[in-house]
Structure 1
């Protein structure tokens, strides 16, 4: 039997029981049609609540993010490209060892539309933001393996990507301790969503201690 029918039967049966008790103990009589309408209203509320809880569960499970060690801060970044308008967007999240969101940043730039160049620019922005926040022990994490490997490497290039990476590596020296880490996209979802939203902003957006408005609370 369909679960909706079972739920409706249970709700109607309960309303009928309440109707009986009201008649016996309070002397009030509710028309059967009113009982059915009230039962269906209750059922609609239950279905809506189930849907809301399902959405919340999906939102909490969408990102397989791993927390940094105690006393360390993890900075995730991602970049997005808008080929139509010639813009790249960068999203940055800053979270502690218990997963608390310390800060986020969104920025964009008119830049040559190369995904690797966009990721290198994002790497520069994420380490700059970490220094601006006065952090000391950081894990810098992104889903571009090429940029992560370039940040780890001692080899310097002479193209635009290498220029951004080289500047990012210099800024990393401002931290007392630092590491870089590569993750898959499903472990970098929050930064990815911020990067996509950043494509349409007019000025940089920084939040402190709260999630940006693009993340639903329900």
Structure 2
């Protein structure tokens, strides 16, 4: 309750939003009582924003404890609003399929470059996700592959972003510095390609991927349809169904 509501930093965030400031006049000392009031009195948007701000502050606290990059306390409210708006917008979009120019099949990179494909597989009932990465040379030969089991992330996009980050790090570990990094989750690829900061729940992972890729000689993020990403998907499923962690490197 203290770090989410009562401390000085938390109060600065909540009181900056006019709809939450009145709750302080009621002197809540238990999180359950505060949440009950929000659920009873607030609209769906109000509840969503309250939950997202609280989650953002808790995540910020956890990242600070392990010296990871975080949003500044002044950014929390606006970034939480952006996340809620993004969620609401995504859930009202027309679901009609659109024509796409995204390649459906895997294609080799240009000479002296490597293509790094990544994918994530979610297993809700098992409480885990798998990450798969495969690196091929310009002739289409597999030079390295990776399977890694992780705890279940809060969204498919977060799992895909973590797979993209692991793909970049894997290339660096193998001293491969000219890469095309390819995945089949369009939202994550768009975030990786964007120049502006990513204001999503997986934004910090995107920032880490950008930071890691900056030390490569060349790194381009591309989208491919799932038909062109089958091997990475198989590796991702293998991480959960058979092995926790496995790396193969061509000698």
Q: TM-score, normalization: structure 1? A: 0.65
Contact 2:198 2:206 in 1 (8 A): no
Counterpart for residue 108 of structure 1: 149
Secondary structure of 2:106's aligned partner: coil
Deviation at 1:148, TM superposition (A): 0.8
| 137, 142, 154: which one aligns with 2:178 | 137
Rg larger in 1 or in 2? 1
| 103, 110, 124: which one aligns with 2:165 | 124
Provide closer, same or farther for how the CA distance between residues 159 and 145 of structure 1 changes in structure 2, counting only shifts above 3 A.
closer
Counterpart for residue 177 of structure 1: 218
Provide closer, same or farther for how the CA distance between residues 113 and 83 of structure 1 changes in structure 2, counting only shifts above 3 A.
farther
Task: Supply the RMSD in Å over aligned alpha carbons.
Answer: 1.6
- CA distance in 2: counterparts of 1:73 and 1:183, whole angstroms: 15
How do 1:24-103 residues align onto structure 2 when only pairs under 5 Å count?
Answer: 64-103=105-144
Residues 23-81 of structure 1 show CA distances to partners (whole Å, capped at 9, x for unaligned) of xxxxxxxxxxxxxxxxxxxxxxxxxxxxxxxxxxxxxxxx9310000000000000000
For structure 2, which runs of at least 5 residues remain unmatched after alignment? 1-103
Contact 2:105 2:224 in 1 (8 A): no
- CA distance in 2: counterparts of 1:109 and 1:136, whole angstroms: 26
Secondary structure of 2:125's aligned partner: coil
Contact 1:86 1:113 in 2 (8 A): no
- CA distance in 2: counterparts of 1:88 and 1:192, whole angstroms: 11
Residues 86-118 of structure 1 show CA distances to partners (whole Å, capped at 9, x for unaligned) of 111000000000011000000011133411111
Contact 2:124 2:152 in 1 (8 A): no
How do 1:191-210 residues align onto structure 2 when only pairs under 5 Å count?
Answer: 191-209=232-250
For structure 1, which runs of at least 5 residues remain unmatched after alignment? 1-62, 211-218
